[in-house]
Amino acid sequence: MKTVRYQPIVRAILLLLTGLLLISPVSPAAADEVCAAAPLMTITALDYGSARVEGGDAVLLSSGGSYLLMDTENNDDTHKVIRYLKSHKIRKLSLYLSHWHEDHFFYLWEIMDDPYFTVEKLYLPKTKWVKQCAKTKYRNRDWYSNAVRCWKGIPAAGLYGAKSVIRKAKKEKIPVKYLKKGSTFQIGNAHAEVLWCGCSCKLSRRGFFEYMNDRSLVTKFTAGDMAYLTAGDINDEVFTLMKKRGLDLQADVYKLSHHGEGDTAATIRMIRPAYAFYCNSTEKKGKIRWTGRRRKIAKMTHLYSVRYNGNITFRLYGKTAKTPVKVTTQRNRKASVVV
């Protein structure tokens, strides 16, 4: 009996099937599904955990495989933001600081010092404002010690001020870009433009805290036809100035300024966000402290609080997608809202 050799037949069949797969066109629907699998931009508002300290901001933006951490939380001894980054194996990222108040940059130095992370770039507001406030000519002002904390820090307490942060970046050879109005940069597929970086108010009139808050960076991130706006701790007076200048503030997702205290209903009408969130550590975990302002804002947009919702993730897919924005919160990981 002759032995039948099947190997050449199998090889021929495999070659034929491979050829058919190569020449078969991919349907537009399948292509759309593949494109829609990855969001244009993802914004995660991080709940840094403790109501023991006031203020604090930390928002992670990702696009095209690149990461940008905007503000680095306040000192609450939990290192929750750093632990979040490590648990998600985010080793390479850039850092962005909205303004030089310690509740926004407490762990900035520590992230640069941690060998786990590779900081690709540091985006900072100019330092002349905080340096000016720390001059000895203001030593009799009630806010002088806080200005010195922001500029020089208290290294023994783990707080490294603006001066130390800049020196650390130079030592680690981290590229630093000081942002001003009109500055642009790229994070993956997201294009960032600084719309505002100061106002005309005087230190003597506003005092240190509001003087620094009103010099927060206002930056708009755009990926495809979707936009995210962050405004640091500016107040509604600055929004009025920006409106008079004719700036385009419209965004799909917006972080309320000054931990939910800096906006009015008029601000929301200018921005017209589908979704908004705020970071306020003074709220009790699982409870929202509604103010008159927030009550009005909540009627105009989907409003989230990191203290109530935990970590909040907004995935922006584009206005032509079946679901333009998907929202997931830590309290309900399956939550999804359609614009």
Give the pLDDT confidence score for residue 16 in this predicted structure: 58
Give the pLDDT confidence score for residue 45 in this predicted structure: 95
Please give the Cα distance from 49 to 107 (Å, whole number): 14
Domains in the chain with CATH codes: 31-124+174-329 (3.60.15.10)
Q: What is the pTM of this model?
A: 0.86
| Residue ranges of the chain with per-residue pLDDT less than 50 | 1-4, 21-35, 333-339
Give the pLDDT confidence score for residue 157 in this predicted structure: 86
Task: Identify the CA nearest to 304 among candidates 271, 335, 334, 269.
Answer: 335
The 10 Å Cβ neighbour count of residue 246 is: 6
Give the pLDDT confidence score for residue 292 in this predicted structure: 81
Give the pLDDT confidence score for residue 283 in this predicted structure: 73
Give the pLDDT confidence score for residue 22 in this predicted structure: 47
CB–CB of 253/325 below 8 Å? yes
Give the pLDDT confidence score for residue 26 in this predicted structure: 42
Residues in Cβ contact with 185 at an 8 Å cutoff, skipping those fewer than 6 apart: 121, 123, 177, 192
Q: What is the residue-wise DSSP string for 13-53?
A: HHHHHHHHHHHSPPPHHHHHHHHHTS-SEEEEE-----SSS
In the 8-state DSSP scheme, what is residue 260? G
